[in-house]
Amino acid sequence: MRKLLFNQHPIAVIEGQLSKELLDAVLQGQAIAQSVEVTLQANDDTQNLEVALRAKLQGSRVKVVGSTELDVAELGYAGGVAQLKQLAGLASISTLVPVTFELAFDL
């Protein structure tokens, strides 16, 4: 799978910003849920995504959890997915995949 999908471009970069208001609320102990627009760069393509974020203070860290769905065909991975489908002998493989991430920021 790695060779078919990620051999030439194995790294993805996601960029976004948390507002000062969100960060201030989290630092005051509030758990926050908010949608944030981010930019994803993968496979020599760039895509804007809306990501659902949850942020809260955990000890001396701000913990941020995000989730979204991503159509990998829009990032140029359709050919690799088709090859995987053929190798696995499947009738279909969805190109829509869930993406989650968890970040911890030390204060």
Q: Are 75 and 47 in contact (CB under 8 A)?
A: yes
Helix ranges, 1-107 (H): 2-6, 20-27, 78-88
Give the pLDDT confidence score for residue 7 in this predicted structure: 62
Q: Are 39 and 14 in contact (CB under 8 A)?
A: yes
Each residue's pLDDT tens digit, 47-68: 999 999 999 999 999 999 999 9
**E strand or H helix at 73:** none
| pLDDT of 81 over the 90 cut | no
Compute the average pLDDT of residues 93-104. Answer: 91
Cα-based distances in Å from 83 to 5, 15, 75: 9, 30, 16
User: What confidence tier does 1 reach under pLDDT thresholds 50, 70, 90?
Assistant: low
**E strand or H helix at 11:** none
Compute the average pLDDT of residues 78-82. Answer: 86
Give the pLDDT confidence score for residue 5 in this predicted structure: 67
Compute the average pLDDT of residues 41-47. Answer: 87
pTM score, whole prediction: 0.74
Q: Are 83 and 4 in contact (CB under 8 A)?
A: yes
| pLDDT of 44 over the 80 cut | yes
